[in-house]
Amino acid sequence: MTTQTLHEIFLVFALLSGAMLLISIFLFYKLNIAKAFGDVTGRSARKAVEQIRKQNTRIEQEPMKTETQPPCRIFSADLTAVIGDGSEITTILYDGEEPEDFAVEEDITFVHTKGIITTHEEEIYA
């Protein structure tokens, strides 16, 4: 082999290595390898937790906003609007007394607090 042949082989392989470098850079961004590396190492999770903590501290420092609602209108059951020609019979469903077959099966109350709530024999840590 002459030096000329070795120089030509060198140039071919140098061009191939440059092309492979460009392809690898393209695939690195196309396949989002940086995100995958962050997921594998746990770096993404740590950043997400830190962001949530910052958001929570910002929310805790803001004053509580209270919303006022306009007063509700309560309509009596005997006020009925006539729709149509009035020939249909209107049934009053609720006349101010609870029906006999009505029973509260379960009372669910949501309390948002950081304290300890004690109910009967069990303790719920909120």
Range of the domain at 108: 3-125
Which residue, 62, 60, 94, is CA-closest to 75?
94
Which residue, 104, 102, 86, is CA-closest to 94?
102
Percent of the chain with pLDDT over 90: 26
Taking only the tens place, the pLDDT of each residue in 39-68 is 889 888 899 899 888 888 877 776 666 666
| pLDDT at 58 (0 to 100) | 77
78: helix, strand or coil: coil
Look at the chain and report how many structural domains it folds into: 1
Residue indicated by tokens 């006349």:
95
Taking only the tens place, the pLDDT of each residue in 81-121 is 555 565 666 666 666 666 677 676 777 777 676 666 665 55
Q: Which backbone phi and psi does 117 adopt, to 5 degrees?
A: -110, 125
CA 56 to chain centre: 15
